[in-house]
Amino acid sequence: MSTAASTTPTERPLRADARRNREKIVSAARQIVGEHGEAAQIDDVARLAGVGVGTVYRHFPNKEALMGELVRMCVVECTAIAEQCASIEDPWDAFAGMVRSSCERMAADAAMRRTWQAADDAAVAYAAPVKAELHDAAELLIRRAHESGELRPDFTVDDMGGLMCGLGAAIDAMPEPDERWRRLVEFALDGLKPH
Amino acid sequence: MSTAASTTPTERPLRADARRNREKIVSAARQIVGEHGEAAQIDDVARLAGVGVGTVYRHFPNKEALMGELVRMCVVECTAIAEQCASIEDPWDAFAGMVRSSCERMAADAAMRRTWQAADDAAVAYAAPVKAELHDAAELLIRRAHESGELRPDFTVDDMGGLMCGLGAAIDAMPEPDERWRRLVEFALDGLKPH
DNA sequence: CGGGAAGCGGAAAGTGAGCTACGGTTCCGG
DNA sequence: CCGGAACCGTAGCTCACTTTCCGCTTCCCG
């Protein structure tokens, strides 16, 4: 039994080339989803990644799982932004910085805003654990801004999801080359200051 | 030739039962799209309308055309809201009333906010003529609010699309039974007042 | 360096939704 | 009241996309 238990069934090292392919697949998926949104096809992802379709399905049991991984990556990036902004001294600048940087990221990377729309419930559930971290990181910034009196008290962490979804949709709805969306973000931030 | 020209090829009266069926189809489509968004199926629409699939395709050449009709109806409703708010005396109340009423409509009717996402470019193009009317109606309210100095001057008609898209997405992202979305709308309106 | 397993590729099966063909039915003009 | 045409419902075709299957290749370890 002890010898049989030496292999860890929950986690295995993953071969070198397999690891490389996995990264290529995820990277390609990001680009394809950014271009085609929900209509993204596994076939296109495989072609862009330079691998066969079977390889995609070796790494992800189905399309849903691949989407879930993309969602997870987006959440991780957002968390990184939030934690990075935590080092800003002024509480309001820290909060506003998180919102601005996140929007900047969404505007620059179509996958960032389209992934949420393309993901179904199962994919979102897959990212639940990392989502908790994002929640905590955002809550910290919001509490600091509340305490300094620069953020209206009736705005809570639970409103962040709606806010960012709304800003993402607004950015998506505006002609890309123009950067008129920046103004809308500032309008929203002004609305979040104490009335 | 004169006898052949007596029939108007561009427009025909439409039989009584056909008219009734067409209305049932559109009504059913609204509900199905509201429930399933982009994943709405013609089959379900036909079943809910109590007609066969063939009947749906008699009235609309393809799914795209049906979606286009839904988009058109949404735009017409929005225009009606805007024109209705034009009778409000106070310029700011008129503008804010348009935004609030539109959001109210989106919150109450899932089809109202999901239709935009489900519609592709062709469907949107189909609704272009009525969209111009909405543009004009919104522009009137915005100009009045600008002139009275109650709406920030750097907010223009071209920002309305992004604003409403954003608010729609935000409403969609929030748990339905709760009416927390109303607060977000007020935040946005506060942000649109002169800084 | 060689045995063996993990990984890869692409053809093909499976699946489901959009769309069409056609025989029966319902409605309007005379 | 009736002839003809517009209309309706069903059944199944088509086609695109996901998923699987299996022989071949590449990598790791002793």
Return the higher-pLDDT residue of B8 and A186: A186
Over residues B56-74, the mean pLDDT reads 95
Going by C-alpha positions, the residue among B100, B40, B94 that lies closest to residue B70 is B40
Note the CA–C1' distance, A54 to C3, in angstroms: 26
A52 and A90 share a domain? Answer: no
Could you give the percent of chain B with pLDDT greater than 90?
A: 82
Note the CA–C1' distance, B41 to C17, in angstroms: 7
Residue A3, pLDDT above cutoff 50? no
Instruction: State which protein residues have CB closer than 7 Å to strand C.
Output: A 12, 14-15, 17-18, 20-21, 50-55, 57-59; B 15-17, 40-43, 53-54, 57, 61-64
A40 and A78 share a domain? Answer: no
Q: How far is residue B14 CA from its own chain's centroid?
A: 25
What's the total number of domains in chain A?
2
Q: B103-126 burial, b if ≥16 CB within 10 A, otherwise e?
A: bbbbbebbbbbbbbbbbeeebbeb
Task: Please check whether residue B3 lies inside any domain of the structure.
Answer: no
Task: Please check whether residue A115 lies inside any domain of the structure.
Answer: yes
CATH number of the domain within which A21 lies: 1.10.10.60
For the segment A79-122, what is each residue's pLDDT rounded down to a tens digit?
A: 999 999 999 999 999 999 999 999 999 999 999 999 988 888 88
B71 and B109 share a domain? Answer: yes
For the segment B117-138, what is each residue's pLDDT rounded down to a tens digit?
A: 888 888 899 999 999 999 999 9
Closest CA in chain A for residue B154: A183
B128 and B73 share a domain? Answer: yes
For the segment A46-73, what is each residue's pLDDT rounded down to a tens digit?
A: 999 999 999 999 999 999 999 999 999 9
Of B60, B78, B96, the last residue of a domain is B60
B105 and B188 share a domain? Answer: yes
Torsion of CA A28, A29, A31, A33, to 10 degrees: 160
- Nucleic acid strand D within 7 Å of B39 CB: no
- Nucleic acid strand D within 7 Å of B6 CB: no
Over residues B144-149, the mean pLDDT reads 98
Q: Output the CA–CA distances (angstroms, integers) from residue B177 to A165, B106, B174, B191, in the order listed.
A: 18, 14, 9, 26
- Which domain covers residue A40, as residue numbers? 15-60
B70 and B56 share a domain? Answer: no
Contacts of B55 by beta carbon, 8 Å cutoff, 6+ apart? B21, B25, B46, B49
Over residues B89-116, the mean pLDDT reads 96
